[in-house]
Amino acid sequence: MAKNTLIIVEGPQGAGKSTFTNYLRENLASADLHRLTGIKDKSKTGLAKVTKRFKREMDYIKQGCSSDDPIMIYDRNFFTDEVYARLGYKEYSFAETYQSLLKTLDEMELNIYLVILYLEDTNLYKERLASRDKFEYQKFDVENSVNQQKEYLNLADEVEKQTNNIKVIRFANDTEEEFEGKVKEIFGQLFK
């Protein structure tokens, strides 16, 4: 029996995660889309909350991906919490929990893709963030997005070195014209 697939899409605010995950959901057969938002408690007590939450989420992924729905898509997961902690948005270090979760994920019997979205032209963040009208966990700011992008790309390098079962994809999401073709090139074998 073929392994089921888990796709986790990460990246800074304004990189196009919602657009990317919505496109996958509409085009992949039997895909289940999950959008995770951060826990508001950025204090040290928040660490216990977020650790518990992501351990439950890993259990859910194990169960969900072994069911009849062969594809699970996540718009953010524990990688966001690690990036935000590294950038000082949290009062605690998430590193120990992050390493444990990464090991758990890497050991799952799944085809796992970690997609890191970024913009080659970081000036596009200004345009994209200006059009936002929804509440977000971290305030919109071009400098924040650029700093997040750098940290996500660093994290991508680390994940490639530390894991055996997680395929890391760095996806430059600057232009709508190339978007569909690039996504089909990577995930076309999973399309309906």
Domain boundaries, the chain: 5-190
Q: Which pLDDT score is estimated for 19?
A: 95
Q: Which pLDDT score is estimated for 1?
A: 40
Closest alpha carbon to 38 in 75, 81, 88, 94: 81
Asked if residue 79 lies in contact with residue 155, where contact means CB atoms within 8 angstroms, the answer is yes
pLDDT over 90 at 39, yes or no: no
Q: What residues are paired with 67 via a beta bridge?
A: none
When pLDDT is cut at 50, 70 and 90, the band that residue 47 belongs to is very high
pLDDT over 80 at 115, yes or no: yes
Per the model's pLDDT, the better-predicted residue between 106 and 134 turns out to be: 106
Give helix 78-86 / helix 95-106 axis angle, nearest 10°: 150
Per the model's pLDDT, the better-predicted residue between 177 and 130 turns out to be: 177
Element (H, E) at 34: strand 31-35
Distance CA(6)–CA(4), nearest Å, equals 7
Evaluate if pTM is beyond 0.85: yes
When pLDDT is cut at 50, 70 and 90, the band that residue 127 belongs to is confident
pLDDT over 80 at 187, yes or no: yes
Element (H, E) at 159: helix 142-162
Q: Which pLDDT score is estimated for 128?
A: 87
Q: Which pLDDT score is estimated for 174?
A: 96
Asked if residue 117 lies in contact with residue 173, where contact means CB atoms within 8 angstroms, the answer is yes
pLDDT over 70 at 85, yes or no: yes
CATH class of this structure's domain 5-190: alpha beta
pLDDT over 60 at 135, yes or no: no
Helical residues (DSSP H) of 28-93, grouped into ranges: 44-64, 78-86
Could you tell me how far CA 152 lies from the centroid of its own chain? 9
**CB-based burial, 127-154: b 16+ in 10 Å, e otherwise:** ebbeeeeeeeebebebebbbbbbebbee
pLDDT over 70 at 103, yes or no: yes
pLDDT over 60 at 18, yes or no: yes
Distance CA(46)–CA(37), nearest Å, equals 14
Note the pLDDT tens digit of each residue in 25-38.
999 878 889 998 87
pLDDT over 50 at 137, yes or no: no
Distance CA(80)–CA(112), nearest Å, equals 17
